[in-house]
Structure 1
């Protein structure tokens, strides 16, 4: 009896040692991290407009013909009917016709763009806005808006486009103007707003994955109504970043 048992065990061990080993199942490929697209259409034509010491050299959708600045640097930015910049996820509302005035910056170095923004809000002006931009191409940009929402309220809005646009409503602002700021140290980019140019609130913060050549600028939009005018004052572009990306200071 013992002999038979030992024989069975020995045969089992022999079969196991001769059987091919199962290889580990291949791990599923990780989804690629969403990165900035640099191959989209680069909109705009050369221009040469200097405002508050900033040389704007790219005009998108005729922005150079819609902008004037007085001796104090106050910018009047007109926009016509149904003008917006937005890559709708389902394509139904895509519209890249808003005028944008841009200046080139070296994105490997720190920068801070600031302006006091007063949009031309109207009773029927849904999504009317004064806007600060970071732009690479029509598939890669961020706009930072003081915008009129669906309920007629005026609020801070950010829209980040990587192929398609997201849409983020932030705080309601109960005054006709707001200070807005975009800042980067080369690694991080943040968007902030202030009611008094002293205390800043963070609207958006993320990794700066934009390419070395980046455009910053101003825009006025009127996606629904028949046209409006936005005003920009105290426009400033510095080659330095804020020190605290949480407080915007």
Structure 2
């Protein structure tokens, strides 16, 4: 799996940061990634633990853009997640996750890593129809979620050092692995016109 991966909905060659157990590109706009057991991307802000083992497929996009996908997975173990990812280097990255909480609920979670990770839970979702969106606006980035409707809810607006690649990530930190399905993947090179209004 060292050859570049072609995903028709993503307008650039893609590469694996860490290779998955398996993956499949289906049609123009769908991708599945299977993460192995005990795979994660996290740097504990209160301790020495550093994890950078989960599979991630990334590519470089120039200029302003939006990248969105409907995310589906069987949430079996705590912190199993499907993720849209920004990755500059092991110390600088950010992720927008549909993740299983310790309470057993599908939850929207964001992490921005600047040397160490923060960890912010946004809200629970029913898990049936969840779309994640990552956008670049000049030197800033935005995470949005649409859950069960067409309204894009702003979750996070932030800056990140470096020149990150963008892509898709699966993790199973406490479990025996999981398969994430990214469907209806869409890319636009147009700048968002309404950051906070659901556009």
TM-based fold match above 0.5: yes
Structure with greater strand share of residues: 2
Structure 1 residue aligned with 2:121: 169
1:62 is the counterpart of 2:19: yes
Structure 2 residue aligned with 1:219: 169
Distance in 2, matches of 1:209 and 1:150, equals 28
Structure 1 residue aligned with 2:109: 157
The answer to whether the Cα contact below 8 Å between 2:82 and 2:170 also exists between their aligned partners in 1 is yes
Structure 2 residue aligned with 1:112: 66
Cα offset for 1:181? 0.4
1:127 corresponds to which of 79, 83, 86: 79
Q: How far does the alpha carbon of each residue in 1:66-96 deviate from its partner, in whole angstroms, 9 at most, with x for none?
A: 2201225321110110000001113344211
1:74 is the counterpart of 2:30: yes
1:91 is the counterpart of 2:43: no
1:137 corresponds to which of 80, 89, 96: 89
| Contiguous gaps of at least 5 residues in structure 2 | none
The answer to whether the Cα contact below 8 Å between 1:117 and 1:130 also exists between their aligned partners in 2 is yes
Distance in 1, matches of 2:23 and 2:198, equals 29
Structure 2 residue aligned with 1:234: 184
Structure with greater helix share of residues: 1
Structure 2 residue aligned with 1:15: none
Aligned residues, how many? 198
Distance in 1, matches of 2:9 and 2:193, equals 23
Tell me the SS of whatever aligns to 1:175. Answer: coil
Tell me the SS of whatever aligns to 2:145. Answer: strand
* Backbone CA RMSD of aligned residues: 1.8
Cα offset for 1:196? 4.0
Structure 1 residue aligned with 2:4: 48
- Alignment of structure 1 residues 183-198 onto 2, 5 Å: 183-196=135-148, 198=150
1:210 is the counterpart of 2:166: no
Distance in 1, matches of 2:45 and 2:57, equals 25
The answer to whether the Cα contact below 8 Å between 1:52 and 1:236 also exists between their aligned partners in 2 is no
| Contiguous gaps of at least 5 residues in structure 1 | 1-44
Distance in 2, matches of 1:197 and 1:101, equals 27
TM-score by length of 2: 0.92
Distance in 2, matches of 1:92 and 1:153, equals 28
